[in-house]
Structure 1
Amino acid sequence: MEKSAPDFFDQDFWRVSEPLLHMEKRKMAFICSKGNLDMAYPALIMSIAALTEKVDVNIFFTFWGLDIITKRTMDSLKFTMQGNTALHLPLLEKFRPGWGKRYLPPSFGNLPGATHLATWYMNKMLEKNGIPPVRDLLEQIVEMGGHLWGCKMTVDLMELRQNMMFKGVSGIITAPDFIKKSEDAQIIFI
């Protein structure tokens, strides 16, 4: 007999199985190395989902990922098209059937104003769908007990200081410190 695919819309699919309820405290660790708007949301949303399920969460921001927690940049993250081979704009479907699924070439991002337009569009879609801004998600993570960490090497390299970071940042730590904090955790690199 052929095995059927799981039904993701079935409520029973998402129920936590009984053995999982008796596991030790779960831990998740996210490493954010990119500071683009579309790279900030996956880690922040998954962190909130994990915290909702009582999972310990630590997020380590390194290299350009520090833009997500740096006061000067966190409210103006950009969405760039360069290097994004799966970029398409569903909005184009309104103008001509089939255009919404067409992929835009990454070189389209080199056109003057393309990053500004893409960032504006992404922010509009986030707002339209009720998805909070990055700052609000960071505040929610901290309020729920999650920890935000800056990478010491990158902070030193970029000549940043803790007072330049979002108020909820737990501290600036080394990579070995984060490895200790993430022991026995599921590690997700974004």
Structure 2
Amino acid sequence: MNFSWANPYATVRTPVFARNVVATSQPLAAQAGLRVLQEGGNAVDAAIAAAAVLTMTEPCSNGLGSDNFAIVWDPQSRQLHGLNSSGIAPAAWSVEYFERKHGESAIVPLRGWDSVTVPGAVAGWSLLHGKFGKRTFADVLAPAIDYAERGFAVSPGVQDKWRRATALLRNQPGFAESFLP
């Protein structure tokens, strides 16, 4: 096959997309976003639906305890909107707190209570939905709720991450009792 700039792919068919595309790292999440679009939702609704499904299907990468960042173009107002919904640190946290508890380097630990902030993901979804959402919040979250209630196959990638993390997390207080029966 000769290379052609008109069609640089190793096929005679050119790539064609429908009016809407949802791309995620997990097929169930992409399907959830497409479902919301097919039911009359918009891009923000689809993004929230996909992110909510990812909190279960890829919890190591996108959990309810994560953060949320978005850039949204509003065609009606012709304005670009940005959202930083990163977690809020506890009021007691300061450099002095970490120096007292973890030594002079004041490095935030990788595990334990001092390694987390108040999650911002769900608050970000709520803000985005309130400003831009078209469907009801319940409709947007319905695919994730369905997977939570009925279950789904855990991907090999998530299985591998859980397997590798077990040795690191086994000694965390309460972890083994809750997750390694």
TM over 0.5: no
Give the TM-score of the pair, scaled to structure 1: 0.32
Scaled by the length of structure 2, what TM-score is found? 0.33
Richer in strand (by share): 1
